[in-house]
Amino acid sequence: MGDIDRIWEYIIAVLLAMAGGFAKLLSVKNSRKMKLKRILSELFISGFSGLMVLLFARATGLSGDWVGVVCGMSGWTSPRILDFVTKATAKKIGIDTDGHKDTKE
């Protein structure tokens, strides 16, 4: 995959996640009363989530279609998916996130 293709993959993943996050915002009652700051922060968090999920999905070997699905859904479920990625990453590199000493050596 060339550099340009990879950049486009990042952009698409972030946009899919932002679309998922925006859809979640629109589904919330009283969404008309939301302030611009809240909307922008939700979109940023969703975009970040999409990028992290893209990298995670690529590392686990998901197909292109599945990468698109999980990136879009990551925007909808940002906090939960980021918790999942955090735990999976910590496990992969041998960090215990529960505060206990890791006994795996």
- Asked if residues 89 and 52 have their Cβ atoms less than 8 Å apart, the reply is no
Question: 20 is written with which tokens?
Answer: 């998922």
What's the pLDDT at 85? 87
Instruction: Kindly provide the residue ranges of all beta strands, DSSP E only, lying in 39-83, ordered along the sequence.
Output: none
What does the pLDDT look like over 20-69, one tens digit per residue?
Answer: 999 998 888 666 677 888 889 999 999 999 999 999 898 889 988 899 89
Domain parsing of the chain, residue ranges: 3-93
What does the pLDDT look like over 35-46, one tens digit per residue?
Answer: 888 889 999 999
Contacts of 43 (CB under 8 A, 6+ apart): 18, 21, 22
Model-level pTM? 0.78
- Asked if residues 19 and 76 have their Cβ atoms less than 8 Å apart, the reply is no
What's the pLDDT at 100? 57
Question: 34 is written with which tokens?
Answer: 């939301």
2 vs 66, higher pLDDT: 66
Place of tokens 């206990």: 100
